[in-house]
Amino acid sequence: MDIARCLTTVDLLCTREFPAEYGRTDVGPGGPGWLAAALQISRDFWEDDGTAWEKTVVQYEADRDGLSERLADRWGPPHVISLASVLERSMEGEDISEPWDWLAQHVPDVHLWRHPDTARWVALGVSQWDRELPFELLALATETDPP
């Protein structure tokens, strides 16, 4: 993982203007009040016997934790928050504010900070849609408080 590039992207998410409408930007998905980026994407696991998948999940969590340590040096320790209840509430039909509904559908938990200079929330999480699909290390910045 190129930690300097990841930190630069997080800084960009903290300062860039949010899109006016939901859609893709040059860094990733976003919408009114939020912007996300895939900092790192693994290969897929269609031809894997499980060995590479296990190594990759450990590596992506370690990469998230390493980046989290660097951000903690700037902003203090993160809040580590499960998004399981947010996902469950969304699936039961509750209207969950974006980007939290989107994020809960991608990651099980996040490392979360309140950026001291911009008042944006910054979240890091590891996403994988299905066991055969790639992992993504996601970063997100939003003005919307967590649910």
Q: Quick check: 29 and 38 in contact, CB under 8 A?
A: no
Structure tokens at 118: 């911009």
Please state, as a whole number, how many other Cβ atoms lie within 10 Å of the Cβ of residue 57: 15
pLDDT digits (tens, 9 = 90+) for 75-131: 999 999 999 999 999 999 999 999 999 999 999 999 999 999 988 999 999 998 888
Q: What region, left, alpha or beta, does residue 76 occupy, with left being phi > 0 and alpha being psi -120 to 50 degrees?
A: left
Q: What region, left, alpha or beta, does residue 50 occupy, with left being phi > 0 and alpha being psi -120 to 50 degrees?
A: left
How confident is the prediction for the chain on average, in pLDDT? 95
Q: Dihedral sign for Cα 77, 95, 13, 110, please.
A: positive
pTM, entire model: 0.93
pLDDT of residue 111: 98
Segments making up each domain of the chain, as ranges:
3-142
Provide the H-helix boundaries in 76-139.
84-91, 100-104
Q: Quick check: 125 and 109 in contact, CB under 8 A?
A: yes
